[in-house]
C-alpha cells in the first residue's frame, strides 16, 4: 500500500503564509520531513487557487522538487493551475482528481489524456453529493470508466476513490462498511485490477479525542488492507498509522514472509 502524505496543504498556516509570500523554505522543510517520515508520494494541495493559480502551483512543485525526489500528487480544482503544475513536474504526477461533476469532466479529466498521467476519480454524483450505498458507488464507478474510455485514456491510469465519509454522520458506520464492499468488487466489475485510494482522515472528521481518532483510523486501515486498498492519503506524521500500513503490507504482500519487514 502506498502512502500519499497530505501534509502540504493550504489549511496549514505555514504553507498558506509561504504561498502568499512565495517563500520556498517552509514548503521545502515540510517536504523533507514528509519524505523522512516514510511517504511514498507527496500530495500538494494549495486549494482552489483563485488568484495567480498557474504561478503558485508551479512554485510549489518546483520548490518541492528542489529538495525531494518523491512522486507528486497535485490537488486543486483549478484546471489551469493543475496543467501548470503538471508541466512543472519532472515525473508524471497523479492528478487529484475528477468526478462526474460537469466542470471536472470538461476541464480536469482531459488533462490526464493530454499529459498521460494517472488520475483519481471520486465516486460522487454529478451534483457533488455522496452516494449512500455500495450499489450506488459501483454504478458511479462504471460511469467514470465510461467517461475514461470516451477520452481515450489508458484504463490503467484510473485510480478510484470511493468517497469515505465521517463516522459522525448518521449513517457513517454503515457507509464505512459499504466502502469495503466497493473496493472488494471493483476489479470484477470494471474488468481489470483498478487501483483504489481512500482519504483516511475523512473517517474521523469532526470533534473527538485525537487518540481515539488515530486508533479508529488504524483499525479501519487494516480492514481496508484486507480488501485490497492500494493507496492511502494520510498525515504521514501519525507514525503509528504508518506502522500499521507497513505491517499490513507484510501480511498482504505475495511472497515469503519475513519478520524483518515488520516495523
Nearest alpha-carbon partner for 172 in 202, 142, 128, 211: 202
Per residue in 69-118, pLDDT (tens digit) is: 999 999 999 999 999 999 999 999 999 999 999 999 999 999 999 999 99
Query: Is residue 234 in a domain?
Result: no
Q: Are residues 30 and 97 in the same domain?
A: no
Domain boundary among 35, 56, 88: 88
Evaluate if residue 231 carries a pLDDT over 90: yes
Q: Are residues 119 and 149 in the same domain?
A: yes
Query: Is residue 254 in a domain?
Result: no
Per residue in 190-208, pLDDT (tens digit) is: 998 999 999 999 999 999 9
Evaluate if residue 257 carries a pLDDT over 80: no
Q: Are residues 110 and 129 in the same domain?
A: yes
Q: Are residues 98 and 210 in the same domain?
A: yes
Q: What cell does 182 get? A: 466497493
Q: How many domains does the chain have?
A: 2
Q: Which residue has the cell 486501515?
A: 221
The CATH number of residue 123's host domain is 3.20.20.20
Query: Is residue 213 in a domain?
Result: yes
Q: Are residues 106 and 197 in the same domain?
A: yes
Query: Is residue 240 in a domain?
Result: no
pLDDT of residue 251: 87
Query: Is residue 37 in a domain?
Result: yes
pLDDT of residue 256: 78
257-261 average pLDDT score: 77
Query: Is residue 56 in a domain?
Result: yes
> Rounded to two decimals, what is the model's pTM?
0.94
Per residue in 36-69, pLDDT (tens digit) is: 999 999 999 999 988 899 999 999 999 999 999 9
Query: Is residue 263 in a domain?
Result: no
Q: Are residues 66 and 127 in the same domain?
A: no
Q: Are residues 60 and 104 in the same domain?
A: no
Q: Are residues 38 and 114 in the same domain?
A: no
Domain boundary among 88, 119, 146: 88
Q: What are the residues facing 119 on neighbouring strands?
A: 95, 158
* Domain ranges, residue 29: 1-88
Per residue in 127-176, pLDDT (tens digit) is: 999 999 999 999 999 999 999 989 999 999 999 999 999 999 999 999 99
pLDDT of residue 79: 96
> Which of 190-225 are b and which e, b meaning 16 or more Cβ less than 10 Å from the residue's Cβ?
beeebbbbbbbbbbbbeeeeeeebbebbbebbeebb
Q: Are residues 46 and 61 in the same domain?
A: yes
Half-sphere exposure of 171 (CA within 13 A, CB side): 10
Identify whether the C-beta of residue 38 lies closer than 8 Å to the C-beta of residue 234.
no
Per residue in 240-252, pLDDT (tens digit) is: 999 999 999 888 8
**3-class SS at 44?**
strand
Q: Are residues 80 and 146 in the same domain?
A: no
Domain boundary among 62, 88, 114: 88
Evaluate if residue 228 carries a pLDDT over 90: yes
Nearest alpha-carbon partner for 75 in 35, 41, 37, 52: 41
Q: Are residues 104 and 211 in the same domain?
A: yes
Q: Are residues 84 and 97 in the same domain?
A: no
Query: Is residue 106 in a domain?
Result: yes
Distance CA 19, CA 26 (A): 9
Evaluate if residue 255 carries a pLDDT over 80: no
pLDDT of residue 253: 81
Amino acid at each position: 500500500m502506498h502512502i500519499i502524505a497530505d501534509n502540504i496543504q493550504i489549511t496549514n498556516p505555514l504553507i498558506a503564509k509561504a504561498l502568499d509570500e512565495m517563500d520556498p523554505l517552509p514548503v521545502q522543510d515540510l517536504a523533507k520531513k514528509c519524505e523522512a517520515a516514510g511517504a511514498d508520494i507527496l500530495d500538494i494541495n494549495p486549494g482552489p487557487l483563485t488568484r495567480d493559480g498557474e504561478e503558485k502551483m508551479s512554485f510549489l512543485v518546483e520548490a518541492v522538487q528542489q529538495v525531494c525526489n518523491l512522486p507528486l500528487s497535485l490537488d486543486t480544482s483549478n484546471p489551469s493551475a493543475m496543467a501548470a503544475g503538471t508541466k512543472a513536474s519532472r515525473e508524471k504526477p497523479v492528478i487529484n482528481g475528477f468526478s462526474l461533476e460537469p466542470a471536472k469532466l470538461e476541464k480536469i479529466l482531459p488533462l490526464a489524456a493530454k499529459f498521460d498521467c494517472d488520475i483519481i476519480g471520486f465516486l460522487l454524483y454529478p451534483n457533488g453529493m455522496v452516494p449512500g450505498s455500495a450499489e450506488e458507488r459501483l454504478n458511479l464507478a462504471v460511469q467514470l470508466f465510461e467517461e475514461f474510455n470516451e477520452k481515450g485514456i489508458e484504463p490503467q491510469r484510473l485510480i478510484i476513490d470511493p468517497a469515505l465519509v465521517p463516522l459522525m454522520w448518521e449513517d457513517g458506520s454503515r457507509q464505512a462498511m459499504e466502502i469495503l464492499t466497493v473496493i472488494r468488487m471493483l476489479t470484477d466489475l470494471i474488468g481489470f485490477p483498478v487501483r483504489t485510494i481512500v482519504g483516511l482522515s475523512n473517517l474521523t472528521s469532526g470533534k473527538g479525542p485525537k487518540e481515539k481518532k488515530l486508533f479508529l483510523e488504524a483499525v479501519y486501515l487494516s480492514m481496508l488492507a484486507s480488501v485490497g486498498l492500494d493507496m492511502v492519503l494520510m498525515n504521514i506524521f501519525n507514525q503509528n498509522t504508518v506502522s500499521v500500513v507497513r505491517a499490513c503490507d507484510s501480511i498482504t504482500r505475495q511472497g515469503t514472509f519475513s519478520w524483518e519487514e515488520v516495523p
